[in-house]
Structure 1
Amino acid sequence: MRIGQLVTAVGVTGAMVMLSACSGSNAAEDGKTLTIVAWGGEDQKAHVRATAEAWAEENGITIKQDSPTDYAKLRAQVESGKVSWGAVEVEPNFAHTACDNGWAEKLDSSIDTSLLKDVEVTECAVPVLEYAFTIGYNTDTFAHDHPTTWAEFFDVEKFPGKRGFWKYATGAMFEAALLADGVKPEELYPLDIERAFEKLDTIKDQIVFYETGEQQQQLVSSGEAPLIQAWNGRIFSAAQAGQPVANEWNEHLVSYDQWIIPKGSAQAEVAQEWLAHYVKDLEGQAEYANATAYAPVSEGAMEFVDPEVAKELPTAPENAAKMSTVVDYAYWAEHYDEVSKRLSEWAAQ
């Protein structure tokens, strides 16, 4: 997921932002530099502060940042043999593709993946954070009753109003449509895309697409689309700002981003060391969660999350019990291009 879009933040350019983690700055001369690449904005800065800066200072490493993540640029760096990035935040479907095509390094055995959920780990990637696609709703419009299932989300007679969806193939729109049409969560994959489009056709005239987190918030907060398939952190931050919105956690879909190391990076060794630290850094992950309302990925980190924030995370026990499924990004790695083309054509009709 493009996490730079997830919090209220000022976007940053792709220019390099250098944060020296060492007072003497001999680290760069020694080659101990790690360039962390993510989606940008205040979110990325908060993430680096929480999980990298203290570790870098302790180990004599200079941290640099670049943004946003760019898949074409990553591939070009690898294929030219001129890799300037160390650890890169990517969507899991790309992580699968990068690993399969030899664009990403294999994980070192020093990284303790036993702390992580198996479904969120591959031989080339570990998770960055966890989030949920929820039913977000306007609490003024639906003050007394709101949809609690995807079937009700699609019921425009009982719950009138526009519906907002992320205009992105891996944005869980198809999964939601199939759940609404009666497909059991454990039988979702491989997705029946034809059936999903047929279900989406039933409310097509009520669909409003968003492309950024800001648009998502504006749609549901204003009531223009009082129901929206939401990123849980966006709804939480809007509610914290006093907007009339809330998350419905029933039948939510879990998603996540991953870290990969570009193949051939001169920083690969230090990147492996940082990822080994990252998965063990429970307090750092919790600090980031407190700032963004996106969940830590390592078992035990929830102990350090503010209780008020924890209630709005997919890893909270009461929310986790309501999960429908985790998005299958191995499926999406195989089918992303064809479904994206079909979605663009359908939306334009």
Structure 2
Amino acid sequence: MKKILVLTTALTGAGFAAQAQDLTVMSWGGAYGESQLEAYIKPFMAETGKNVVAVDADNPATPVKAMVEANNVTVDVADVEFADGVRMCDEGLLEEIDPAMLAPAPDGTAAMDDFLPGSVTDCLVSTIVYSTAIGYDTTKFPEAPTKIADFFDLDKFPGKRGMRKGAKVNLEMALMADGVAPADVYATLETPEGVDRAFAKLDTIKADTLWWEAGAQPPQLLADGEVAMTTAYNGRIFAAAVGEGKPFAIMWDGQVLEYEGYVIPKGTPNLELAKEFLAYATTSQKLADQASWISYGPARKSSGALVGMYKDGKTPMGPHMPTAAENLTGALPSSYEFWVDKDSELNERFNAWLAAN
């Protein structure tokens, strides 16, 4: 009998039980987790007869790293941020993935020619292109914010702000709001003066900012009226606005684009089944199917033409993608090379900055 078991683990990766023959897939929960459940997991079980255990974490990279280092791996496939996947691969925490196992496009194009440039690495296969953008409550502002600088303008756009608790994206947005062109952001952050400049800009809203750690929190902060504007994963704001009818909108200027994808932790007890699931989930059609549930762009070129309507059957998904042409003005592709190199250093400084009065 096929079954789906969805569990939630603490960020530290509290243990959970699964039968040995089950495939355990860890992701982020919420609307994003639901999109994977509907597009990948349920169809995989229906077609293969295999059981899948879906588990959630605020950031799957953290418990996966702990499991591998403790030689107690209970997750077979995990969804992680691109930079985390590259870093964990470099640290020997992930299984290498043979591109030959990935399915070709419907027209026969080889997978590695069909995936977006750079989206498949030695240990990670991207599934989506998502962005961290600005979500806001349309009832709070007579005039809608249009520029990333507006997020930092508490006089013209009063109200509390929400930001993810960490250096990544916040530093980039701070510099863009301070007048740095997207193309110059990472060169600026490579300098001590550039980092100082970013933190100085963050200083201007620090006292009015609530810090979130899980992707489900920003739309909840907006719904509860705790913030008027917040950084958020674009798909979470879409799900709340279109799926739940909340008065929310996305400001795309200054959005930070990033790949997200699946990895296989080193030492998984179900390696062959994990590979089978990963290959299944990353076919052109399955990636397009996920886009019917949440507004993240598929990581394969051939999936674009297969993307249709939202699950409501009436909302075209194309215009809501972060990669839609009209949404890309002022966008910044995240530099995974920069964050693989600077993550520890800048987060250490961020935490010290956050703790200071």
User: Which TM-score bucket, shorter chain as reference?
Assistant: 0.7 to 0.9
Structure 2 Cα separation of the partners of residues 95 and 117 of structure 1:
17
The answer (yes or no) to whether the contact 1:139–1:246 under 8 Å persists in 2 is: yes
Matched, 1:15 2:16: yes
**Closer, same or farther in 2 for the Cα pair 1:343/1:97, shift >3 Å?**
same
Structure 1 Cα separation of the partners of residues 69 and 18 of structure 2:
25
Deviation at 1:176, TM superposition (A): 0.4
Structure 2 Cα separation of the partners of residues 103 and 113 of structure 1:
23
Q: What is the RMSD of the two structures over their aligned residues, measured on CA atoms? A: 2.9
TM-score, scaled relative to structure 1? 0.81
Give the equivalent residue in structure 1 for 2:183.
186
Deviation at 1:209, TM superposition (A): 2.2
**246, 265, 272: which one pairs with 2:275?**
272
Matched, 1:234 2:232: no
Deviations 1:100-143, CA, capped at 9 Å, x for gaps: 11111222131223222224332211113222222222212223
Deviations 1:196-216, CA, capped at 9 Å, x for gaps: 001112233332323334442
Structure 2 Cα separation of the partners of residues 201 and 250 of structure 1:
21
Matched, 1:107 2:97: yes
Structure 2 Cα separation of the partners of residues 153 and 38 of structure 1:
29
Q: Tell me, what secondary structure is at the counterpart of 2:249?
A: strand
> 1:162 corresponds to which letter in structure 2?
K
The answer (yes or no) to whether the contact 1:132–1:255 under 8 Å persists in 2 is: yes
Give the equivalent residue in structure 1 for 2:172.
175
TM-score, scaled relative to structure 2? 0.79
Q: Mapping of 1:1-349 within 5 angstroms?
A: 12-13=8-9, 15-16=16-17, 28=21, 34-40=23-29, 43-44=32-33, 46-59=35-48, 61-68=50-57, 70-71=60-61, 73-79=63-69, 81=71, 83-110=73-100, 111=102, 112-143=111-142, 145-170=143-168, 172-190=169-187, 191=189, 192-240=194-242, 241-282=244-285, 284-302=286-304, 303-306=306-309, 307-319=315-327, 321-348=328-355, 349=357
Count of aligned positions: 324
Structure 2 Cα separation of the partners of residues 268 and 226 of structure 1:
45
Gaps of 5+ in 2: 1-5, 10-14, 103-110, 310-314
Deviation at 1:323, TM superposition (A): 4.9
Structure 2 Cα separation of the partners of residues 272 and 157 of structure 1:
52
Gaps of 5+ in 1: 1-9, 19-26
Deviation at 1:70, TM superposition (A): 4.7
**Closer, same or farther in 2 for the Cα pair 1:155/1:42, shift >3 Å?**
closer
Q: Tell me, what secondary structure is at the counterpart of 2:265?
A: coil
Q: Tell me, what secondary structure is at the counterpart of 1:334?
A: helix
Deviation at 1:243, TM superposition (A): 2.3
The answer (yes or no) to whether the contact 1:105–1:262 under 8 Å persists in 2 is: yes
